[in-house]
Structure 1
Amino acid sequence: MMWRNHWNFGVDRTFGCGSLVGMEVKELIEACDRELQAMGAQRELLCEVEGFPIYGYTLMRRMSERTVYLSSGIHGDEPAGPLALLELLKERVLNESCSWYVCPILNPTGLQAGTRENYQGFDLNRDYLNCKSFEVASHAKWIEGIKCDFAISLHEDWESSGFYFYEINQLEDRPQRYARMVEALAPTMPMEPESLIDDHEVREAGWIYHGSEPDEPKHWPEAIFLAVQGCPLSFTFETPSSLELSLRVKAHKVAVCAALRICI
């Protein structure tokens, strides 16, 4: 999740991914909104920044035994997550067995500009303790009012060559989940081979087993905030930004579907 401004929506204004060629940020927000509302999700406007709405969605199912939180787009130079999430929504991956909380695009101004940070220069994914940014202050307040059993966040990394993920697990350690994730991803993307990823030692290739304490005490990411708020298990998925966008989108979709099969 290191910052690189190689993907500049402020210049291209397109995502360039299959049927999504020509889609702008507002169109992507509207497309996600249509799909979620068509499924019966309740929309809440968390805030509006520079003309972009940031929504949180709640989709409660009467017979569900688990509640899943799903987010993407917190870093604007990581477009594969929001694009993958839209495709997953269209494919109705939010199945009837779970209730859902969804935040499709948390940093629309960064996505528009192609920058990791928002329009004010804040790295939103380091602001969940201090809540200095309007986006995170609004989002954190919303999170405080929800309860989820499992969380998935979609990210990218300009410095990796393969897929990797963070696992924050305050429940029973189940290493077999990793083997099943690798098996699911193998036809699409290899796991990151480095033994040190973003200054973290890996447990196995592409698997960072992270505690619920932040790396930087004053700079909390979303996943740590979720853990502190009571979410016992979360996966943060990372695809390598150097690879073709359509492949990164596919890898995120495969990983989300696999995680839901494995963990729910």
Structure 2
Amino acid sequence: MNGVFDLLHFQTAFRGAAELAGFTPSLLADLPAGQLLAWEKPGTGPCVYLSAGIHGDEPAGPLALLELLLADFFTDDFHWFICPALNPSGLVARTRENSGGVDLNRDYWLRQTAEIIAHACWIDALAMPDLFISLHEDWETTGFYFYEINLREDQPGRAHRILDAVRPWFPPEKGPLIDGHESREDGWIYHAAEPDLPEGWPEAIYLAKKGCPISFTFETPSHAPLEQRVAAHTAAVRVACETLADEIS
């Protein structure tokens, strides 16, 4: 990993690995910068939806999903959905926003962009997942942190397992304020299922409003080496899914 994200190379590599792992694609939108794709692999257990690349200057998330594919993580005992590159034009330009200057992760209420119109329609038709995980990065932090939106029973042990899994690469981001939000503990923001701004709905809020019972938004420090950010994301995803399996079994 050299720190430069090439969307075409990524999508080619992801397609090859996903098809080999038993995923099939759905074309959500054919955009000037590239295709917006969702991938599905049916399975026998709980349903997990993972997304990444909604901010084009955050490449570790898409690369972590590819790394998990190459490591044969996506086994048949889960039903998987993946949207690995939600902002093609931003990923090409390496900008947070899309080519129109819109932060896509604030557009799920207004639906002003072609990307989110297509993606939200796909979500609307989706069998609601048991768990949603979104992979992000934050240039203002030095540690790892995550948002949890939980519509079910509060289980702090789940959060602690995630933070412990990421410690080999990053400590939990220090509170009491993280990303402008009051933290429950270092590295952990326990967020209500309400947007910070009435019209600025992110994907996680939209999923919660649709009934997704629990979501995690993982954030790695974007100044750190790319390999560390990818490794931290993969570790966090692994533990979150293992925890879900333990709770359901």
Is the shorter-chain TM-score for this pair beyond 0.5, marking a shared fold? yes
1:68 aligns with 2:54: no
Name the counterpart of 1:6.
none
- Contact kept, 8 Å, 2:149 with 2:190, in 1: the verdict is yes
Name the counterpart of 1:3.
none
What is the aligned counterpart of 2:22 among 16, 32, 40? 40
- Contact kept, 8 Å, 2:136 with 2:219, in 1: the verdict is yes
Q: 5 Å matches for 1:65-214?
A: 65-146=45-126, 147-214=128-195
The alpha-carbon deviation at position 42 of structure 1 amounts to: 2.0
The alpha-carbon deviation at position 111 of structure 1 amounts to: 1.0
SS in 2 for 1:236: strand
Tell me the distance in 2 between the aligned counterparts of 1:134 and 1:213: 24
SS in 1 for 2:57: coil
Tell me the distance in 2 between the aligned counterparts of 1:74 and 1:51: 14
- For 1:212, the aligned partner's letter is A
Q: Would you identify which runs of 4 or more consecutive aligned residues in structure 1 move more than 3 Å? A: none
What is the aligned counterpart of 1:55 among 37, 42, 48? 37
SS in 1 for 2:90: helix
Instruction: Report % sequence identity.
Output: 48
Tell me the distance in 2 between the aligned counterparts of 1:160 and 1:88: 25
Tell me the distance in 2 between the aligned counterparts of 1:40 and 1:184: 27
Give the root-mean-square deviation of aligned CA atoms. Answer: 1.2
Name the counterpart of 1:31.
13
- For 2:16, the aligned partner's letter is R
The alpha-carbon deviation at position 175 of structure 1 amounts to: 0.6
SS in 2 for 1:176: helix
- Contact kept, 8 Å, 2:33 with 2:88, in 1: the verdict is no
- CA deviation vs aligned residue, 1:19-73 (integer Å, no higher than 9, x gap): xxx7621110121111112222221110022140010111112xx2300000100
* TM, length-normalised to structure 2: 0.95
The alpha-carbon deviation at position 258 of structure 1 amounts to: 1.1
Return closer, same or farther for 1:193/1:23 CA change in 2, 3 Å cut-off. closer
SS in 2 for 1:69: strand
> How many aligned residue pairs are there?
244
- For 2:92, the aligned partner's letter is Q
SS in 1 for 2:235: helix
Name the counterpart of 1:16.
2
- CA deviation vs aligned residue, 1:185-227 (integer Å, no higher than 9, x gap): 2222111013101210000001000111111110100000111
- For 2:9, the aligned partner's letter is E
- CA deviation vs aligned residue, 1:141-195 (integer Å, no higher than 9, x gap): 0011112110100000011110000000001100111221222122221110131
Tell me the distance in 1 between the aligned counterparts of 2:31 and 2:165: 38
- CA deviation vs aligned residue, 1:116-142 (integer Å, no higher than 9, x gap): 000111100000011110000000000
- Contact kept, 8 Å, 2:51 with 2:134, in 1: the verdict is yes
SS in 2 for 1:167: strand
Tell me the distance in 2 between the aligned counterparts of 1:155 and 1:212: 19
SS in 2 for 1:218: coil
SS in 2 for 1:228: helix
1:253 aligns with 2:239: no
- CA deviation vs aligned residue, 1:67-117 (integer Å, no higher than 9, x gap): 000010000011111111111111111112100111010011101111000
Name the counterpart of 1:11.
none
Tell me the distance in 1 between the aligned counterparts of 2:112 and 2:137: 24
- For 2:135, the aligned partner's letter is L
